[in-house]
Structure 1
Amino acid sequence: MLAFLIRRLGQSALVVALMATIVFFGVNVVGDPVDMLVAPDADQAERARVIADFGLDKPVIEQFGYFVKGALQGDLGKSFIFGEPATKLILERLPATMELAIVALLIALIFGIPLGVYAGIKPNSMGSRAIMAMSIFGFSLPTFWVGIMLIMLFAVQLGWLPATGRGDTASFLGIQSSIFTLDGLSHLALPAFNLALLKMSLVIRLSRAGTREVMQQDYIKFAKAKGLSFGHIVRVHLMKNIMIPVVTVLGLEFGSLIAFSVVTESIFAWPGMGKLLIDAILQLDRPIIVAYLMIIVVLFVTINLIVDILYSALDPRVALSEKNS
């Protein structure tokens, strides 16, 4: 177990190092931030001063060396536009993004699992076919188009829900969130549903496939032969087994909810990390772009590492196969 953990930690560190290199050099070959930082009528001396202040006059390799040195100390650079540490700006927006991602994940689970189980229990019914058709639409429809349609219907035409912003927030156990106020929940509803739609479709298909497989198992037939009620069989025997792949996949998909909430946050003007990233890209604020991408890389690597460790703890064959390979 210890050797497996050390090996995984080494692999994770290597992935982070490689991605740091790719991200830094990839971002630094795109555009010239000086055009954004210096007024068009500024003279050459002012332009040279700004370039020197931000260290853009140094060779890219030397800039990368400073970046690595700062990253090892937790410093991913200072924003060109805001003049504050990029990590600080992103972490200030992180709670709003996490809140949106968590609520979207809960929506996907609350609606996706019952619909998927029903579609699996009655695969030939009209309801099942309608659910599977809906899941196909969830995979196929572009997120930005769905978001715009939700705004047009529920905010503009019906006037039921607000279209943009985070709304009022409140603190509970030291956590500041919009889910603790009615106004915040009303602002959260549309962006959370928009972000959850794709994951809900995934949960439906996973739950349906798992249900159809489990319902054919001998222990389900034995439970029926014992005279157990169908509801008891579903709750105790079916749900316990289909939740293993669902939870595993969604554990990994949670990282993508955070990383790919950029479109949803932009459409609904949600003040999260994604909105900050879009603003940084438009202004060529390189430190924020690099810091955001690195935080996402670390997040994905950490989630994958946790899943691997849990698997190795629950199933020793995982670590054994690694050793034999």
Structure 2
Amino acid sequence: MIIYLAKRFIQALLVLAVISLIGFTVQDNLAFQQGLNAGSAAAYNVETDAGFLTKYFQFVSGAIQGDLGTSSFFKEPALTVILKKMPATLELIFAAAVLVGIFSVPLGIFTALYPHHTISRLILSVSVLGLSVPVFVTSILLIYLFSVTWNILPSFGRGDVVPIVGYWETNFASWDGLKHIVLPAFALASVMLPLFVRLIRAEMRQVLKSEYVKYARARGLSPWRIYFVHALKNTLLPVVTVGGVQIGTLVAYTILAETVFQWPGMGFMFLEAVNRGDAPLIVAYLMVVGAIFVVLNTIVDVLYSAINPTVNLARMAA
């Protein structure tokens, strides 16, 4: 297990190195472009006489120390701006993930147990539609229904947030904050909900055909015990892996949801930084989001190996 963890740690470092190289290239090109737009070589602040590797290692050294430059708009360190915006994005992702878990598990199990039921066919039809509709279209539809037509939920902003610690302000400690997070969370959850419903359904149907389920039935165990104790446990194993990867993917989709709902998170900040040409903030966003992807994938891979001994042993033997 230690050898496997060491391999995963080395792989994570290599991916982070690639991300840092991409971030440095973006920063270098943006700085050069800003220099050209300014019409003066002096406006290009990168030392042109330094080699590429020298400048890259200076960038990595600063990044390790938390120095990713200063935002030209906020006049603050780029990493500080990211940390201030991060709680809003993380809470939105958490709320969306909770909604996906609440709805996908029962819907997926129901469609697996009753594949020919009218409700199951309706669920699968809606899931196909959900996979085809972009998140910004879903966001606009939710705003039209719940904010414009019925006027029961707010359509933009975070509402009243409650400070917790440091830069962290939460929506979950006030009723107004909860109302503001509902629509963007549902819009973001709509991206992954159809996928997980179909994944759980497929895995559940496959598990129900396995030998140990047949043996449990032969022993006379109740159907509900077979479904929710024996079958569901093994059904959720691949869901854990896909779930970890998709939660990381939600970070990318927050750009669209946050823009439509004017949610003051990292995604909305990133688009504003692009419009302003705020190079340090753009690079800081890329670095932070890339690091989140790497950390999440590594944690999920390790957890999957821990809860599935056969996978763990197979990888250690490789």
TM-score with structure 1 setting the length = 0.87
* Separation in 2, partners of 1:248, 1:299: 16
Deviating more after overlay: 242-251 vs 95-104: 242-251
Q: 2:135 touches 2:188 (CA, 8 Å); kept in 1?
A: yes
Q: 1:104 touches 1:196 (CA, 8 Å); kept in 2?
A: yes
Would the alpha carbon gap of residues 317 and 216 (structure 1) be closer, same or farther in structure 2, given more than 3 Å must change? closer
The reply to whether residue 196 of structure 1 matches residue 189 of structure 2 is yes
- Which amino acid is 1:194 matched to? A
- Alignment match, 2:284: 291
Distance apart, 1:3 and its partner CA: 2.7
* Separation in 2, partners of 1:219, 1:319: 21
- Alignment match, 2:96: 104
Of 221, 230, 239 in structure 2, the residue corresponding to residue 246 of structure 1 is: 239
Q: Secondary structure at the match of 1:176?
A: strand
Offset from partner CA, 1:225-268 (integer Å, 9 cap, x none): 44444333322223222121212211221111123311100110
Of 253, 257, 261 in structure 1, the residue corresponding to residue 254 of structure 2 is: 261
Would the alpha carbon gap of residues 194 and 297 (structure 1) be closer, same or farther in structure 2, given more than 3 Å must change? same
Structure 2 unmatched ranges of 5 or more: none
Deviating more after overlay: 70-79 vs 272-281: 70-79
Equivalent positions of 1:169-180 (< 5 A) are: 169-171=161-163, 176-180=169-173
Structure 1 unmatched ranges of 5 or more: 39-43
Of 111, 135, 148 in structure 2, the residue corresponding to residue 119 of structure 1 is: 111
* Separation in 2, partners of 1:110, 1:21: 39
Deviating more after overlay: 245-254 vs 305-314: 305-314
Of 155, 177, 180 in structure 2, the residue corresponding to residue 187 of structure 1 is: 180
Distance apart, 1:311 and its partner CA: 4.1
- Alignment match, 1:14: 14
Would the alpha carbon gap of residues 187 and 9 (structure 1) be closer, same or farther in structure 2, given more than 3 Å must change? same
Cα RMSD for the two superposed structures = 2.6
Q: Secondary structure at the match of 1:29?
A: helix
Of 78, 92, 100 in structure 1, the residue corresponding to residue 84 of structure 2 is: 92
- Alignment match, 1:145: 137
Q: Secondary structure at the match of 2:126?
A: helix
* Separation in 2, partners of 1:311, 1:123: 29
- Alignment match, 2:296: 303
Q: 2:240 touches 2:304 (CA, 8 Å); kept in 1?
A: no
Q: Secondary structure at the match of 2:73?
A: coil
Q: 1:79 touches 1:85 (CA, 8 Å); kept in 2?
A: yes
Equivalent positions of 1:42-61 (< 5 A) are: 51=43, 55-56=45-46, 58=48, 61=52
Would the alpha carbon gap of residues 59 and 187 (structure 1) be closer, same or farther in structure 2, given more than 3 Å must change? farther
- Report the number of matched residues: 314
Distance apart, 1:129 and its partner CA: 1.1
Distance apart, 1:313 and its partner CA: 4.2
* Separation in 1, partners of 2:81, 2:306: 37
Would the alpha carbon gap of residues 28 and 156 (structure 1) be closer, same or farther in structure 2, given more than 3 Å must change? farther
Distance apart, 1:128 and its partner CA: 1.1
Offset from partner CA, 1:7-26 (integer Å, 9 cap, x none): 22222212111221123213
* Separation in 1, partners of 2:314, 2:224: 39
Distance apart, 1:139 and its partner CA: 0.9
- Alignment match, 1:24: 24
Identity, % of aligned positions? 40
The reply to whether residue 205 of structure 1 matches residue 198 of structure 2 is yes
- Which amino acid is 1:163 matched to? S
